[in-house]
Amino acid sequence: MCGIIGYIGSKMAAPLLLEGLQALEYRGYDSAGAALLQSGRLDIVRRAGRVENLKTPLNELAQGACVGIAHTRWATHGAPTEHNAHPHRSADARWAVVHNGIIENADALRDRLVADGVAFASETDTEVIPQLLARAEGAPLEALRQTLAQLAGSWALGILCAHAPDALFAACQSSPLLIGAAQDGMYLASDAAAFGDDVFALYRLNDGEMAVLRADSVAFYDSEGAPVRKEAAPFSRRAHGSDKGMYTHYMRKEIDEQPDAVRRTLAQFFSDAGALRLPALLPSSPRRVFLIACGSAYHACVTAKYVIEELAAVPCEAWVASEFRYAMPLIGKGDVAVFVSQSGETADTLAALRLATVHGAHTVGIVNVPDSAIARACALVLPTLAGAEIAVATTKAYSAQLAVLYALAAHWAQAGGQECTDFLDELRRLPEKISAALTSEARAKAVAQEIHKEEHAYFIGRGVDYATALEGSLKLKEISYLHSEAYPAGELKHGTISLIAPGTPVIALACTARLLPKTAANIREVTARGARVFALTGAGADQNTLDAEQIIAVPTAHPLLMPSLSVIPLQLLAYHVAALRGCDIDKPKNLAKSVTVE
């Protein structure tokens, strides 16, 4: 959520900053800006809207500058306007700051500064930082230390000081920040995807740390200003590549990459002989399992709750992380808390992880970034090997998360003496069945043609179908802006059916064979009130029982694995509805890929 890029070295900074911003734009894209430092002068350019709007003015600004910082924003404090865009500058024009995170005591700090005569130019929480820096005493690093001591909240900071033209300053607290070493300089970024091709080594700032980057070195300090030693990790941008290839959108490309993502993810959990093998650190008989996540990752957890309880007979709860962290969860020793996040930096999930750790639960992270904050804080990490996911709306990372959660369920089933041979046999074949499910695109596109002009749609299902309905509904609303909701099919008659009017689209999931008659009855309830039903079911199911205008069939698998197949046409449906409505599919309005603020 928001993206930071900085550079200091022997190359011109402006084109490197632009390249980095374009790589980071999926993290926020309502405004962008950059600051360049040259000959003791700070030049700043900012624009509302996409990074593309910054290209011409930035290229015209201080072409000889070899040090700069830049930012692409997802608005939290203040509207997405030019004057609220980063970087923010101190009133004396000596300091420029880019910031990810939230300063929780910004209002109190602003009131104090205004009372002292400081004039603010924006509505943001970030602007208190350069204003505090300007009033601090001592050398720039000491001024930074004094300023950070006054802040509460989260921050990843890139900072320039006109009085230190050969340095770029950084600081981190509960928001990710990386430093990349290159042959011709040093980079600063909130995501490794922003690094140049020449970066060969990577450093990660820990909470409370500061850094001073120079053209050929970097030095680290703790919150008291004492030096900190760090070892660099090797880095190759090839591992973080993001070529769109022949595809119009990253999302469509990533939908097609799901079989390989699931295949890679599952391969780490099976021996050459086909036996399931999870790490020895994973408890074999948890008292209870808590599955905690946000957004699509939460929907994967809802699916897993059904799977774990039915397959392994282990009590399981699925929690939205922002609710878990402020509830009074009855969690403690003997429990396993599983935290699911594509980025591994999701703020609410990370806070819930800290709470579970305090209560003594064994913590497991399911993340797509192995050195992320959640990965480093968990007792055990089970990685998803989905590769870089650029589209804001997740597809392949979601499918990889389901794959890991299935493996967890099977592990606990085997440990508890539950029969799961058929499940494991089907799990090993899941990638090829996902490939077959991708052939449903023509049917999904046909349904999209029927509903893309509507303003409301409803998804219904029972059991794991309901969990998949949640994800299908989210996909549709987040990229096409068509209002949709998902409900347990049996709940329709308890209020929701009052919203069904003649012509209302209802997408009915009927992929669980034993529940098919029940779902068929719910379909008849909505068709009796004029709904247009589009059903999704398993190939070979008795489709004559489904009173639907169109039916999409997916391959059959073990009933508990069907969500990995039924989600595919729902992703394709959302994609084609969004395309027909002319939406920006990879960068939906108001959304960002990595949510690092509460």
Question: How far apart, in whole angstroms, are the C-alpha atoms of residue 390 and residue 486?
Answer: 26
CA-based nearest residue to 341, from 365, 363, 305 = 365
Give the phi and the psi of residue 118 in degrees, each rounded to 5: -80, 130
| Structure tokens given for 317 | 């709860």
Q: Following CA atoms 594, 211, 40, 10 in sequence, which dihedral angle do they give, to the nearest 10 degrees?
A: -80
Q: Following CA atoms 432, 436, 438, 441 in sequence, which dihedral angle do they give, to the nearest 10 degrees?
A: 180
Which residues are 171's β-sheet partners?
157, 210
Which uninterrupted H or E stretch holds 535? strand 532-538
CA-based nearest residue to 554, from 411, 436, 404 = 436
Instruction: State the distance between the two ends of the chain, measured CA to CA, in whole angstroms.
Output: 11
For residues 176 and 156, is the Cβ–Cβ distance under 8 A?
yes
Q: What three-state secondary structure class fits 6?
A: strand
According to DSSP, residue 41 is labeled E
The residue with tokens 């599919």 is 585
CA-based nearest residue to 583, from 338, 391, 321 = 391
Helices (H), 344-384: 347-358, 373-377
Could you say which of 305, 396, 433, 593 is catalytic? 593
172 has catalytic annotation: no
Could you say which of 2, 66, 172, 511 is catalytic? 2
475 has catalytic annotation: no
The catalytic site residues sit at: 2, 593
